[in-house]
Structure formats: structure tokens, C-alpha cells
Structure 1
Amino acid sequence: MRIDKFLKVSRIIKRRSVAKEIADKGRIFINGRAAKSSTEVKPNDEVVIKFGNKTLTILVKELLDTTKKDDAERMYEITSEDYERDFRNE
């Protein structure tokens, strides 16, 4: 499954077009390698997503073509969620 579709179906990112844009800007990594929106993802892959000051690391558990809201969380496991602090305002 393409990474942009996975992020939308799993509800990590709400719109596939936004997932595509983030991937094409080099802010998504799969198993340590930069990913384009068309990069394939499979179970047991580690995905790192950089959102502004937040870095989310997930482990892909399952691939589903469509999901209900409750089933979306079965698709991945969050392994870390890091925030960069802005020291300019302190």
C-alpha cells in the first residue's frame, strides 16, 4: 500500500493530498530512508513523520483498504512521539 494512502486510511493524516505533500517534501521516512508519496509500506515497517515541531514514529501493524474509526488504530502502533522545544520564547 502506498504511504499516502496508509496515512489517510489509518487516520494519522486526514487527507491523502496532505499526506502526499508531506511525503514529497521529505518529511516521511520508512525504515530510515526518505519516502515519496508512492513508496510502498508493509507490516513491520517503521515510519517516521515530521510535523513542524513534532516527530511521530509508528510501527505498521496491519494494512486495510478501508476502515471505520475504531478499526484505524489496529493498523499501527505509536512507538514514540517527540516534541522540539522552542527556546526563543523562554
Structure 2
Amino acid sequence: MRLDKFLKVSRLIKRRTLAKEVADQGRISINGIQAKASSTVSVGDTLQIRFGQKLVTVEVTSLKETVRKDEASMLYKIIKEEKIVSE
């Protein structure tokens, strides 16, 4: 599944166009490698997403084309959330 579509379906990012922009800015990595919106996401992959001053690391646990809002969080497991301290 494409990275931008996974982020939208899992509701980590609300809109696919926004997910594409974030990926194009180099703020997402898959298994430590900088990712583009078209990158392929597989079960077991680790995603690092930078939201402003926060770095969120999640593990992909499932892939589905469509899910209901209350089931979206079952597609990933949050490993850690950390604040980015700028110096």
C-alpha cells in the first residue's frame, strides 16, 4: 500500500494530499530510510513521522483499503512519541 494512502486510512494524517506534502518535505521515514508519498508500506514496517515539534514512531500492524473511524487505530501501534528540542 502507498504511504500516503496508509496515513489517510489509518487517520495518522487526515487528508491524503496533506500526507503527500509531509512526505515530500522529508518528514517521514520507513525503517530509517526517508520515504516519498509513493513508497510502499508493509506490515511490520516502522514509520517515523515528524509533526512540528513532535516525533512519532509507529509500527504498521495491518493493511486495509478502508476502515471505519473507530477501527483505524488498529492498523498501527505507537512505539514512542517524543518532543523535538530545538537548540
Normalising by the smaller structure, the TM-score range is: over 0.9
| Residue-pair matches, total | 87
Write the distance in 1 (CA, Å) between the matches of 2:26 and 2:7: 15
> Which runs of no fewer than 5 residues in structure 1 stay unpaired?
none
Q: Distance in 2 between matches of 1:25 and 1:75?
A: 24
Provide the rounded CA distance (Å) in 2 between the counterparts of 1:86 and 1:4: 27
Q: Gapped runs of 5+ residues in structure 2?
A: none
* Helix, strand or coil at the partner of 1:36: coil
| Seq. identity, % | 51
Deviation at 1:84, TM superposition (A): 2.3
TM-score by length of 1: 0.92
| Cα offsets for 1:19-73 (capped at 9, x unmatched) | 0000011000000000000000000000000111000000000001001011101
Structure 1 residue 15: Cα displacement = 0.3
1:72 matched to 2:72 = yes
SS at match of 1:65: coil
Taking only aligned residues, the RMSD between alpha carbons, in angstroms, comes to 1.1
- Whichever of the two has the greater Rg, that structure is 1
Once residues 35 and 24 of structure 1 are traced to their aligned partners in structure 2, the CA distance between those partners, rounded to angstroms, is: 8
